[in-house]
Amino acid sequence: MMSSCEKCWQESRFVDSYHELLESRKDSPCTPEEQAGPNASECPKCKRMTLHQHTRECMNGCRIGENERSDRQAGKEGVKHG
């Protein structure tokens, strides 16, 4: 399951439903950076600010390993595990 779009989640308070808002935007979706939220981190693979602010999933579709995700959450960017 993909993480929620933070931009849509915040804006959904002005409409009846988060899912209705997503449906209305399917032809012009939010950017991966908007989806990741204002407190997103840089993805170690695509080098974009697309690591979701809560789940640390890359909203650009990169598959990062659990070690990379936990390093980012702990603030240990750049540490590689072998």
5 to 46, 57, 71, 79, 82: CA distances (angstroms): 19, 11, 23, 28, 32
Provide the 10 A C-beta neighbour count for residue 59: 28
Residue 50 lies in a domain: yes
pLDDT digits (tens, 9 = 90+) for 9-54: 999 888 888 888 889 998 999 999 999 999 999 999 999 999 999 9
The residues with which 58 forms a beta bridge, in sequence order, are 51
Enclosing domain of residue 53: 6-73
pLDDT digits (tens, 9 = 90+) for 61-74: 998 765 555 554 44
Residue 58 lies in a domain: yes
Q: Strand, coil or helix: what is 37? A: coil
The whole model's pTM is what? 0.72
How many domains does one find in the chain?
Answer: 1
Q: Strand, coil or helix: what is 10? A: helix
Residue 79 lies in a domain: no
CA dihedral 65, 6, 25, 47 (to 10 degrees): -40
Residue 82 lies in a domain: no
